[in-house]
Structure 1
Amino acid sequence: MENPYLTGNQGPADVETTAYDLEITGALPHELDGRYLRIGPNAIGDMDPVHYHPFMASGMVHGLRLRDGQAQWYRNRWVRVPSVSGQLGEVPVLGATTAAHDTANTHVIRHAGKLMAVSEAGALPVVLDEQLATVSYNDFEGKLPHGYAAHSKRDPNTGELFAVTYSAAENGGQLVVVGADGAVTGVERIEIDDKPMIHDTALTANHVVIYDLPVTFNPDAAKLGFYPYVWQQGRRSRIGLMPRYGTNADIRWFEIEPCFVYHTANAYEDGDRVVLEAFRHERVFDSAWWKPLEVAPALWRWTFDLKAGTVHSEQIDDLAGEFPRIDERRIGAEHRYSYGVALHHGEVGNLAGRGIAKHDRVAKTTQVHDFGPSRFAGEAVFIPRANDSAEDDGWLMSLVHDGERDRTDLVVLDAGTLSAEPVAVVHLPVRVPAGFHGEWFPTQD
């Protein structure tokens, strides 16, 4: 069997690289002072193509330091979980963990001064230093017995971090609330009668969104060494609204048509209604255990009427896409724009796409910046021009692989115009494999 996640640009990088004073086409805005980091799966050692899956792979973080209109450095580093240290023949950096597994490959976040590589399903966050070296696990002073989440949502007003965690070690999940100071302020059980995969969440002014969908832990698959979360035909699909500081008894569940959601664009409240926008997959991990994308996903909206107890669902765009992002100053509030990866039709198994799409919720339009043949873009991160600038007044950053050169560029686009000509292109000396999620971290005073 040829595993699609071990070949081409989805195949792993085999060395760690450090490069300085990178070549730039165009002009990097001087306002961009910080680091762009992107993490993803990167197998190390000999992989069995029959069983390898990127969701279970070792993590590698890639970073660029931008300042004064220059790209000062690029570096990539494996996250030194114990299995990686062993493969590299190094003395382990990290100590023992009671978490279910040691993968850290999905996202990079910074909270209360700590930069962390995070994953889900029982993995603990791994603290990284400014040079992307592995420092320690972070179990939030013992408050994370079953690990953390791939995606958390930070309230832009209070600085609190909300996450829904889950693990194969127990049914259901937990709502974990972390204060702006990095201390856990609440851990509430979410009672579900089996073990669904809960990849993301959403936050509104008063609620946290809980996904209970038909991808669940399969012990038989786990025993055979396959990725253990699979589509369960006939299982219910529902979305729960849980008060931010509520309990399991306070969750209001709404039944929806069978589907799966990896990534939420945003959620917000409109009077007695809650509006949720996310990319909806008709099914995943169904025809084959290794297929995280089977049918081209599209952007959908669910509107929950809290008074009537009903939910209305609608597809709001025909464009195949994934990896939605918004201006994170709008998390939990009504947004106008979201940005996603425009996928190639027929290539829904790829972790990258043909371009970046800008969805305008008010005008009901979609604009696509197409990077052209043989070029594939990853998730785009929005960076506002200034703290008080408009919702699309800023830049989008994405790593774009050039298949002809087999090299990767960091492309900076004008988010307002999404014009054909990028603002700047930083040329990396290496290929960055297709990966998961990135973030912009401005220089801290």
Structure 2
Amino acid sequence: MAKAFPAEVTGGMDEPCRFDIEVFDLEVVEGAVPTDLDGLLVQAVPDQVYLPEVPALHPMTTAAGGDGAVRAFRFKDGCVDFRSRYVRTERFLLERQARRPLFGNYRDPFSDDPSVAGKDRTTANTAIYFHAGRMLASKEDGLPYEVDPVTLETRGVWNAHGDITSLTFTAHPKFDPATGEMFGFGYAAKGETTRDIAYYVIDAAGKVIHEAWFEAPYSAMIHDCALTESYMLFPIMPVTSDLARLEAGGPHFVYDGDMPQVFGVIPRFGNAADVRWFQAPPAFPGHTVNAYEEDGTIVFDVYESDGNAFAPVVPDKHGRPTPPGSVTTWHVRWRIDYHATGPDLSDREVLAVVNGEGPHIDPRRQLRPYRHVFVPTLDRSKLEIDENGRPYPVMFNQLSHFDLVAGTRDDWFPGPAATFQDPAYVLKSADAAEADGYLIAVVNWPLERRSELVILDTLDLAGGPLARLRLPVRMRLGIHSTWIDGDLVDSWR
């Protein structure tokens, strides 16, 4: 029997939804859906079915450890259909059969029920990508699960025909638009808290064509990566793991503000002996934006914060607080010479103050110079206080467009009590200009406990939505979104 969730889990907009749902033909309450939109906006969502029964429930468990659900909006002929369905992972099915929680805290197998020892713990709740005709839902603590892009039924674990031997695989692989190859990796590839990294190149048909194993200098989170024509980059976050701490009941990750930034670089088809580790002064590298090569050097763009970007979900190693509003995020450009003799980096350029996360660019510009970035951001000057003296529960209150060449930005601010989920950027056509597309996002209104879907023209974000669609149920905060073109899926043609 499911037990009632405590107030700290159900007291806000982000409480679990716990449903599979389908809504045909969403209501358009303002404007019109562009008829040239043909495809699927998909989002990975952590949504707890059962709350772990553990002596100490760690914040990361409820924030990012929930069962994975796929949220899908199908666009066609000016209409939008909506479907959300849980990914039937081994973990999900075991708990559904038992009708109780069997798995414990986030990435902590020592807190699990003994009956599930050795079972697959992943929830596939972080990101969704499409490769070799397959839609894959992924979380970096396990292998992806294939999900049918039309019905959202789970097809099972995907391991590239058995060629992926790592225990884990990233939620952020990179793709070469010219070759159709996918570049991915698993960290903690031999088990939780290990320093092992397994690197894979997977061809357009889904076959592994290159594999390399090596060790990171730290046991820490490597959430994202970056790709150029010749190299793969691995930015290590200052969020470290420790086996002894985990065995003692502590959190899997803690923030270590004293740790330097560390970037691993391997040639595209390199091996362990070819890996070089570069470092820079302490900071928090977040999601990567893009990377390419210029004048014999690697140009690597990443979002960088000056403090604990995961506070309060990830605790500080020394117990130091992170006051709200004290962390700033920049768009930073590093230039790295793989053949340089020294490991210390100094060629750093700040391109913009962002205070946001989850950047999106024109997919045709991957591995190439680019100009435009679209991202949800937070303008702290627009935060308002409720009658109890507390700020509205907002994570990102704007959608923003940064023109890196002109040094300008364009924002849409829907109101003081709205918060954005991760958007998707969709080009208007195959030959559209780099900045000419649509930005599609779910907007939450926490005080009203409702959500809506909005579509904006990226050439005029400040002008507001081209269309607003009513969602008949509130949407728990998802993590990453992506767009799948309609012509990639046979049954949609």
Q: TM-score, normalised by structure 2?
A: 0.82
- Structure 1 counterpart of 2:72: 63
2:330 is the counterpart of 1:298: yes
- Structure 2 counterpart of 1:414: 457
Instruction: Pick from 345, 361, 365 the counterpart of residue 326 of structure 1.
Output: 361
- Displacement after TM superposition at 1:378 (Å): 1.4
Contact 1:5 1:54 in 2 (8 A): no
User: AA paired with 2:21?
Assistant: T
- 1:334–1:99: structure 2 CA closer, same or farther, 3 Å change rule? farther
- Structure 2 counterpart of 1:103: 123
User: AA paired with 1:115?
Assistant: M
Post-superposition CA distance 1:274-300 (Å, at most 9, x none): 211111123438875646995343322
Instruction: Pick from 48, 56, 77 the counterpart of residue 85 of structure 2.
Output: 77
- 1:3–1:311: structure 2 CA closer, same or farther, 3 Å change rule? farther
Find the residue that maps to 1:323 and give its secondary structure: coil
- Displacement after TM superposition at 1:208 (Å): 0.8
- 1:28–1:147: structure 2 CA closer, same or farther, 3 Å change rule? same
Contact 1:305 1:311 in 2 (8 A): no
Find the residue that maps to 1:83 and give its secondary structure: helix
Contact 1:18 1:75 in 2 (8 A): yes
- Structure 2 counterpart of 1:313: 348
- Displacement after TM superposition at 1:141 (Å): 2.1
Instruction: Find the aligned partners of 1:75 and 1:258 in 2 and give their Cα distance.
Output: 42
Contact 2:260 2:283 in 1 (8 A): no
Contact 2:376 2:396 in 1 (8 A): yes
- Structure 1 counterpart of 2:112: none
2:373 is the counterpart of 1:338: yes
Q: What fraction of aligned residue pairs are identical, expressed as a percent? A: 28
Instruction: Find the aligned partners of 2:228 and 2:392 in 1 and give their Cα distance.
Output: 31
User: AA paired with 1:39?
Assistant: A
Instruction: Find the aligned partners of 2:11 and 2:331 in 1 and give their Cα distance.
Output: 29
Contact 1:60 1:78 in 2 (8 A): yes
Find the residue that maps to 2:13 and give its secondary structure: helix
- 1:38–1:183: structure 2 CA closer, same or farther, 3 Å change rule? same
- Displacement after TM superposition at 1:212 (Å): 2.9
Bigger Rg, which one: 2
Instruction: Pick from 119, 124, 140 the counterpart of residue 120 of structure 1.
Output: 140
Instruction: Find the aligned partners of 2:307 and 2:362 in 1 and give their Cα distance.
Output: 28
Post-superposition CA distance 1:132-168 (Å, at most 9, x none): 1211111112222312111011111100001131124
- 1:415–1:271: structure 2 CA closer, same or farther, 3 Å change rule? same
- Structure 2 counterpart of 1:214: 238
2:196 is the counterpart of 1:172: yes
Give runs of aligned pairs for residues 347-386 of structure 1, distance below 5 A: 352-386=395-429
Instruction: Find the aligned partners of 1:408 and 1:374 in 2 and give their Cα distance.
Output: 12
2:460 is the counterpart of 1:436: no
- 1:336–1:137: structure 2 CA closer, same or farther, 3 Å change rule? same
- Displacement after TM superposition at 1:430 (Å): 0.9
The farther-off stretch of 412-421 and 308-317 is 308-317
- Displacement after TM superposition at 1:4 (Å): 6.3
- 1:200–1:98: structure 2 CA closer, same or farther, 3 Å change rule? farther
Post-superposition CA distance 1:361-394 (Å, at most 9, x none): 1111222111212111112211111111110111
Instruction: Find the aligned partners of 2:397 and 2:78 in 1 and give their Cα distance.
Output: 27
Unaligned runs of 5+ in 1: none
- 1:189–1:143: structure 2 CA closer, same or farther, 3 Å change rule? same
- 1:97–1:164: structure 2 CA closer, same or farther, 3 Å change rule? farther
Post-superposition CA distance 1:219-245 (Å, at most 9, x none): 244235554122235433221222111
Instruction: Pick from 395, 402, 406 the counterpart of residue 445 of structure 2.
Output: 402
Unaligned runs of 5+ in 2: 100-115, 384-390, 488-492
Instruction: Find the aligned partners of 1:152 and 1:4 in 2 and give their Cα distance.
Output: 34
- 1:195–1:286: structure 2 CA closer, same or farther, 3 Å change rule? same
Instruction: Find the aligned partners of 2:334 and 2:291 in 1 and give their Cα distance.
Output: 9
- Displacement after TM superposition at 1:43 (Å): 0.9
Larger strand proportion of the pair: 1
Post-superposition CA distance 1:200-257 (Å, at most 9, x none): 0011121111123432212244235554122235433221222111122222322111
- Displacement after TM superposition at 1:110 (Å): 1.0
Number of corresponding residues: 439
Instruction: Find the aligned partners of 2:6 and 2:347 in 1 and give their Cα distance.
Output: 42
Instruction: Find the aligned partners of 2:8 and 2:177 in 1 and give their Cα distance.
Output: 39
- Displacement after TM superposition at 1:268 (Å): 1.4
Instruction: Find the aligned partners of 2:209 and 2:393 in 1 and give their Cα distance.
Output: 38
The farther-off stretch of 295-304 and 426-435 is 295-304
- Displacement after TM superposition at 1:98 (Å): 7.1
Contact 2:418 2:444 in 1 (8 A): yes
Contact 1:339 1:357 in 2 (8 A): yes
Find the residue that maps to 2:205 and give its secondary structure: coil
- Displacement after TM superposition at 1:89 (Å): 3.6
Contact 1:35 1:442 in 2 (8 A): yes
- Structure 1 counterpart of 2:291: 267
Post-superposition CA distance 1:319-345 (Å, at most 9, x none): 311111111111111110111110253
Instruction: Find the aligned partners of 1:350 and 1:191 in 2 and give their Cα distance.
Output: 40
Q: CA RMSD in A?
A: 2.9
User: AA paired with 1:127?
Assistant: E
Instruction: Find the aligned partners of 1:176 and 1:342 in 2 and give their Cα distance.
Output: 33
Instruction: Find the aligned partners of 2:82 and 2:298 in 1 and give their Cα distance.
Output: 42
2:74 is the counterpart of 1:50: no
